[in-house]
Structure formats: C-alpha cells, structure tokens
Amino acid sequence: MSKKTPSGSTQAVVLDLGAVIATVADDDPRVLLVNAEDTDSRPRLPSGPFDPDSDRTMEEGLRRWIAEQTGLTVGFVEQLYTFGDRFRDPDNRAGGPRSISVGYVALIRQSAAKRPAGSDWFDWYRLFPWEDWRHGRPALLDEILKPKIGSWIDGAEDAKAKRARRGRSDIAFGFSDVGWDADRVLERYELLYEAGLVAETVTDGRIKTGQGQSDAHAWTGLPLHQDHRRILATALGRLRGKIRYRPVIFEVMPIAFTLLQLQRAVEALAGAPLHKQNFRRLVAAEGLVEPTGRVSSETGGRPAELFRFRPDVVRERPAPGVRMPRGRRAK
C-alpha cells in the first residue's frame, strides 16, 4: 500500500461550489436559477469559485460568493454531494480539466429571498412535475411516463436486462405493489435520464438525434444546464428526508406563522398532502412550535393563531422534525 497520501502532481481538475438555494413562497417550493443567456442556453444553478487562499472552509467560501453574487444571506447550509463524472459537462468531452462541483443546499426565508438581477425563483415542480402529489397522483405519471418507461423496459437487450429495468422502475416509481417513496427523487430522475425521457438526454448524446422530443419539457420539466437538474434532484430528495427528523422547515418560514402555513410549507417540499388535524397534533406533541399570542385574520375564516419555532425542541427530543406517513396513501 502507498505510504503517503498521494499528494500527486497537480491534477487537471477545476473545483467550484454549486448551490441549490431554496425557499417556499406562496405555498410552493422555489429554487434560485440563473437565467439563460440566450435562447439556445438553459437556466443554471448559481455557482462560484472556491478560493483556497481566502476561504478557510468550503462552506465559508460558499456563503461568501452567494453574498457577493446574489446579495442574499442564506441561513441553513448543508453539503450535498460532490459531482465529478466525466460527462457532466457535455462540452468537456475529451481532455481538458475535469470540472468538479461540490454541491450545497441552502435555505432562505421568503422574506429574505429577494430576486437577484439575472436570476429568478423557479417553482421546483416545473422542473420535476412528477414529484408533486399534493393534489393527488400526477396525471402525467400514468398518461405519459408509465407507457414510455414501459417501452424503455421492453427495449432492453434480453430478458434479464428487462427484468432489471422493470425492477428499477418499480422501485423508483412504485409501479408494482411498492408505494411511492417521495424521497427517491434522484432514482427517478436517473431512470428517466437513462431512458432518454428527459430533455438533457438529447444534448448529452445518449440519443442520437431528434426523436420528436422537442416537446420534452412539457412532460419532463424544464431542462437545465449540464447536470444541474440531477443536482436539484439530489437536493430535493435530501430535503424531503431531512424535514422528517430535523427542524429545517423553519429555515424557510417567517418568524411567526400559522399552523396551516407551516403545513403548506411542509407539503410543498414533501410533495404530498397532509391530514390537517393530525399535522397540528403532531407539531404540538413534538413541541416544535409555541404560540406567540397573536393571531392572523388573513385567511377569511376564523383567525389562526400565530406560532413561532421553539428552538428548545432540539434539546428535548433526539430527532425533532415533521413526522409524516411515508408513501402510505401512495398507490
């Protein structure tokens, strides 16, 4: 075995820090994207350099360039994943330095989420329409994706490969007896990518040429630059998992909020409807919130009490978060 960490000759890698900056606004999940420069290009995730000379840690560097580039001050920040596949940048097919991106998720309150010049807050589900089950199972799934995935399965080399593909899609999309697992966002995106069902596939050369997929993003969502949609899928899956056992949802809430607002925010990220009375019982029982004493009459009906996050909860419960039924109502 090698004795020293291979400190190697300088490698041909370029490292940057990518950010999925997310919030919830008007009961919908939003993500900050840098607008396409022209009609041929696509929106992209904001990203910035990592400067080893001035940034003590990568997270510090990330916060620095987010502030510089967008003027935003983000709260919660968590490292997501480091993306380094060769073809993540389709232009960089042969030679050239490998582009490595350390991806982060950052959360910000709607009130602090101004719109930086050149960027926009996009509805997350415009990028992943099949992930939004808040109003029931998306029609898109059965009407379009399921048959297309079916063809992909049938297109496999042999019976074994076919079985493997079927297994994968059953798991990812819950087509057989498994229910829908909201957390498997990445698996679903990856399957669609491999099956040539997302617009990116064309660019990336997996599909030769126009198969009449120009309407692709009508059903597979808005295509993004490079592998940025994959990064977003990773982020959404991670967030969905995380709200269940850490109180991260409050990072996107205003300081005072009604329980229904809180529920809508959770539903927005989770992509699933929740039972109102039980939700209320749950956050009360977990001790996640405390009343402020004030009420909000903006709803039309009976005024709702305003609550605030109760930070002490993390000192009382091992894994405080918004418990949710996992893929139960799914079918």
Q: Where does this chain bind its own copies (CB under 8 A)?
A: 1-3, 5-8, 10-16, 34, 37, 44, 46-53, 55-58, 69-70, 79, 81-82, 84-87, 97-100, 102, 116-119, 167, 170-171, 174, 176-181, 183, 314-319, 326-327, 330
**Which listed option, DNA, its own copies, none, makes contact with residue 303 (CB within 5 to 8 Å by class)?**
DNA
**SS3 state of residue 94:** coil
Class of residue 249 by CB neighbours under 10 A (exposed 0-12, middle 13-18, buried 19+)? buried
Q: How far apart are CA 47 and CA 143, in angstroms?
A: 36
Q: How far apart are CA 86 and CA 232, in angstroms?
A: 19
Kindly report the length of the chain. 331
Q: Write out the DSSP string of 159-180.
A: HHHHHHHHHHHHHHH--SSS--
Which sign does the torsion angle of CA 188, 194, 196, 200 carry? positive
Q: Is 302 a residue that touches DNA (CB under 7 A)?
A: yes
Among 86, 114, 294, 328, binds DNA (CB under 7 A): 328
Least distance from C-beta 281 to DNA, angstroms? 6
Q: Is 259 a residue that touches DNA (CB under 7 A)?
A: yes
H-only helix segments in 53-105 = 58-70
**Which listed option, its own copies, DNA, none, makes contact with residue 275 (CB within 5 to 8 Å by class)?**
DNA
**Which listed option, DNA, its own copies, none, makes contact with residue 50 (CB within 5 to 8 Å by class)?**
its own copies
**Which listed option, its own copies, DNA, none, makes contact with residue 258 (CB within 5 to 8 Å by class)?**
DNA
Contact residues for DNA, defined by CB under 7 A = 258-260, 275-278, 280-282, 295, 297, 299-305, 323, 325, 328-329
